A and B are shown apart, each in its own frame.
Chain A
Amino acid sequence: MNPTDHRRQERLAELFAERSAWVGRQPPSTPAEETAETTVLVVLRDLDLPGLVDGAREFAARLAEDEAEAWRRSWTRARFLFGNPANLAGRSPARLVAGRGGTAWLGPFPSGRLPGPTRLLKPVSGELPPLPEVVEFPHGEDGTTPYRELHVGIRDLTLAEYLVHLHHTLAESVLRGRLGAGEPLRLIHRPDLDADAARTGPAYARVHYAPGGAPGLRLYTWLSPETHP
């Protein structure tokens, strides 16, 4: 490892440790080690970015304090399932439905006691479909509120992995008060993120192990700092 790479990995390790500290646990030594007592279920009819991005923020913002607390200590664990929220209505009503009915949030639930009907659904699978490089989620009436930028590095990610990284970023940024549920947001997809770009105090950065057991840590997302007009 050359000195630049070494510095970069050190910086990523700090961000990784910082998140673990927020959760209140030691950084996991493997991706599977993040134990979760509380799980949120996200049901998707399809990948609908507006529904997902707005819904995830709103869901996190609406949680009661004790629920948010329990979910934080469980690394804001979410499971993503293919299904149609419309057909869940009678059995396990969703906490929040977004994106013209296509995406729904249920829970948080104790991890060992997920509601029965969700067992009828199937875990999200498949490749990440081609995504636009930039997607904007405008909010506010006057159009004067500046956009925050959320960068996502998508190289080699499956759809499920993309959802995991994006969802943690949105939920944790909101829970930590670093992103508003209704704040204008620009989602930017790049193959790789420049870890140096995230050095100047991002509002949030998601760092985790590289996929497929590759050595080192990888920067998956980062959120631009809050702007103070």
Chain B
Amino acid sequence: MTPPTLAPTPSGPPAAEGRAGGRRILLAPVTVSPTKPLTPTHLKYLLSLDLLHRATATFSEVTFLYRHATYAGSRQVAGFWDHLDRHHPDLAYEALGEEDIGELYSAYHRAERLPYAAIEPMVRRAEDGWTHPVSARLLDLWEGHYRLLGLFDPELGRTGPEPAPEAEVLDLLVRRDLCVRPAVPGAPVFLDATAAGLPLRVVVGADGQANYLLYLLRELVPLLDGHDLVVLAHDTELRTDYQTVAHVLRALGVEVRLFEVPRVAVNGVVQSTRAGGWRDHTMGALAGPLIEEFGPDAFRLGLRLYLVAGLGRTARESFSLRHLRRWARRASALLAAHGDGGQGRMTAAEVDAVGRHLAPLAGRRGYADPYQVATELMSRDPEVPVAELLGVVTGRTEAPRALRERVG
């Protein structure tokens, strides 16, 4: 297999972080679209990725690819923007809260679905890099949440490489027998992973609209050449789609692992954000009382431990504020037992010690499993460097934000 020949675009990929000289890992999750409030499902997803990224960077080079604009042309985003411009042309978006935007998003999904031709001008604007004020507002609100959560990058999703042109990517896939693209008006274009037993998957609809899978591939394909392993993160509902993408990327010559995060039920119901169901469970509603009771560090760690380890790999139980509070208390005790997770930036030797512990656990998988890392934190095994691991999980491996060079 030769790697694909598409060159990265001039703006280049995001900088890799972590241990130089290790395997080069491209962590490429599906992004949470800035069209709705962050819910426990999204928090579990983002915090799992945060853990995976930080822990894996102790023994490998990790490039984190997360760019909201990549998917802006999809119906989920551009269709919503188009809907708002039609129905609420004069809304002062900068004054809206997350919940208000969530209500607008639910209303959009209840409204009649417009044909692609009607929303195409908005799709083109989105693809040209324009951001609707509703999403700009949400990204600002989310940045506040990310800071509160202690996420490794509070500006997550705002920058990244430009995707390769659609036609170039499709041409490459057709040449490699990974795409069926009939020259037939009104027929879809399909990703073809039938050799792996997966059904043909539409990437460009009969109406000519590309879906998120094509946007994802346009972003990933130019970056494959510089990486040894691609970790594709996604939620359980998208499993078949991501198996299809994994087959395509493997056929292009890279190793691929899928990292799946389940949706989290609220009050016994797993439902999409578009259906509502997030009310009283947004960041705003969760954080305040817990930070007041336990402080920001215990809140951050407690939320990670609960969502990642507590709800586990399958999240069978519903999200519960009572349990979250219990985990915040436990996090508080854990931090106290290890000198509040230490102060200041960790030394290279401390980071290496964690890397030496985590690399064998990662094994052939190639990346640190967040569930495993979170459970290691609660280990009583004297071999586990819990204090250093806490430092990694809480971001003490990273330079203070203000001093870090901006990426992208």
Chain A residues within 8 Å of B, Cβ to Cβ: 44-47, 82-84, 86-88, 90-91, 117, 119-122, 124-127, 129, 159
Contact = CB atoms under 8 A, between A and B. Distances in A.
Contact of A121 (B185, B194, B197): B194
B192 to A, nearest CB: 5
Contact of B185 (A82, A87, A122, A129): A129
Given A126-B185, A159-B184, A120 B206 contact: no
A129 B183 contact: yes
A127 B184 CA distance: 6
B180 A83 contact: yes
Given A122-B200, A125-B206, A45 B195 contact: no
Contacts of B192: 83-84, 87
B177 interface: yes
Contact of B182 (A47, A91, A120): A47
Given A45-B180, A120-B199, A125-B206, A84 B194 contact: yes
B270 interface: no
Contact of A126 (B182, B190, B194, B197): B182
A120 B186 contact: no
B333 interface: no
Nearest to A124: B187
B180 A90 contact: no
A141 B385 CA distance: 81
A127 B195 contact: no
Interface string B209-226: 000000000000000000
B29 interface: no
Contacts of A44: 182
Contacts of A117: 194, 197
Contacts, number: 67
B188 interface: yes
Contacts of A87: 177, 192, 194-195
Contacts of A121: 194, 199-200
B194 A46 contact: no
Contacts of A120: 194, 197-200
B184 A86 contact: no
Contacts of B183: 46-47, 129
Contact of A129 (B177, B184, B190, B206): B184
A165 to B, nearest CB: 17
Determine which residue in A44, A46, A82, A124 has the highest number of CB atoms from chain B within 10 A of its CB, and name it.
Answer: A82
Given A84-B177, A86-B177, A87-B177, A126 B184 contact: yes
A211 B214 CA distance: 36
B174 to A, nearest CB: 9
A140 B187 CA distance: 36
Contacts of B186: 125-127
Contacts of A47: 182-184
A122 B185 CA distance: 16
Contacts of A45: 180, 182
Nearest to A130: B185
A44 B180 CA distance: 9
Nearest first, the 5 closest Cβ-Cβ pairs linking A and B are: A126-B187, A126-B184, A126-B186, A87-B195, A120-B199
Contacts of B182: 44-47, 82, 126
Nearest to B195: A87
A84 B179 CA distance: 8
Given A83-B194, A83-B200, A126-B186, 12 more contacts: A46-B184, A82-B200, A86-B177, A87-B177, A117-B194, A117-B197, A120-B199, A125-B184, A126-B184, A126-B187, A127-B185, A159-B184
A117 B181 CA distance: 19
Contacts of B177: 84, 86-87
25 contacts: A44-B182, A45-B182, A47-B183, A47-B184, A83-B192, A84-B177, A84-B194, A87-B192, A87-B194, A88-B194, A91-B197, A119-B199, A120-B199, A125-B184, A125-B187, A125-B206, A126-B182, A126-B184, A126-B186, A126-B187, A126-B206, A127-B186, A129-B183, A129-B185, A159-B184
A47 B180 CA distance: 12
Contact of A82 (B180, B195, B197, B198): B180
Contacts of B194: 83-84, 87-88, 117, 120-121
Interface in B149-196: 177, 180-188, 190, 192, 194-195
Contact of B187 (A82, A91, A119): A82
Contacts of B195: 87, 90-91
B200 to A, nearest CB: 5
Interface in B83-140: none
Nearest to B202: A122
Nearest to A118: B194
Interface string B39-77: 000000000000000000000000000000000000000
Contacts of A159: 184, 187
